[in-house]
């Protein structure tokens, strides 16, 4: 194999997606459309994450919620508050829909669980330019097909899942041990997640 070529899902392996629980929800002091969250990712201290999902998820739907976080994303300042991660959500707004839904684990797993599709991650810092190279979509799996591509689901998986796509291959976004990422509402098939 030529060294210039990349392995399938090579860009995805740079990203660390971990399960966390929201332990604190506050309004951003300088931006009315933002939340400032504390998220337990199974580390010594909870992480501060600034997010713009306030208009989609009221306080009571966020507190205690398990969700998916890009945990190795370079920190960023949002109107004076430093954020150390990013929540993963699917949205179909650009497709003519009206949904933005957080990605949720299909079963309860410990905080910090790596959702790497059973692949080894590279352990590198991730920036937005790396995330933009990765395609993750949400759709129903019908007869073993995800948007026309063969996909394997663990037993008991929900019919609507998130999957990582590379060319003509799709793998369900999960921990490789039975937990997969899904959404808790209706969204158009093929909705991108970021």
- pLDDT on residue 1: 40
How would you label 72-108 residue by residue, b for 16+ Cβ within 10 Å and e otherwise? bbeeeebeebebbbbbbbbbbeeeeeebbbbbbbbbe
pLDDT exceeds 70 at position 155 = yes
Banded pLDDT at 9 (limits 50, 70, 90): confident
| pLDDT of amino acid 126 | 82
Q: Which DSSP letter does residue 128 get?
A: H
Please give the pLDDT value at position 4: 47
Mean pLDDT of 139-147: 92
pLDDT at 98: 79
pLDDT value at 162 more than 90: yes
Contact assessment for residue 176 and residue 117, using Cβ atoms and an 8 Å cutoff:
yes
Domains within the chain, CATH numbers bracketed: 12-192 (2.40.50.140)
pLDDT at residue number 128: 86
pLDDT-derived band at 25, boundaries 50, 70, 90: very high
pLDDT given for residue 53 in this prediction: 93
121/3 Cα distance (integer angstroms): 19
pLDDT in tens, 114-133: 999 888 888 778 888 888 88
In the prediction, which pLDDT does 2 show? 44
């Amino acid at each position: 194999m030529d060294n210039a070529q990349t392995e399938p899902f090579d860009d995805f392996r740079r990203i660390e997606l971990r399960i966390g629980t929201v332990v604190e929800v506050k309004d951003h002091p300088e931006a009315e459309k933002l939340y400032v969250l504390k998220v337990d990712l199974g580390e010594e201290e909870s992480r501060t994450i600034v997010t713009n999902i306030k208009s989609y998820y009221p306080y009571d739907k966020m507190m205690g919620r398990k969700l998916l976080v890009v945990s190795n994303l370079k920190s960023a300042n949002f109107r004076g508050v430093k954020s150390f991660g990013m929540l993963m959500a699917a949205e179909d707004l650009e497709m003519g829909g009206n949904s933005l839904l957080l990605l949720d684990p299909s079963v309860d797993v410990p905080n910090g669980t790596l959702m790497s599709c059973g692949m080894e991650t590279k352990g590198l810092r991730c920036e937005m330019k790396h995330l933009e190279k990765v395609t993750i979509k949400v759709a129903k799996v019908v007869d073993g097909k995800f948007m026309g591509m063969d996909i394997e689901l663990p037993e008991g998986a929900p019919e609507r899942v998130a999957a990582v796509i590379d060319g003509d291959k799709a793998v369900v976004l999960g921990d490789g041990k039975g937990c997969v990422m899904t959404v808790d509402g209706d969204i158009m098939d093929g909705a991108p997640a970021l």
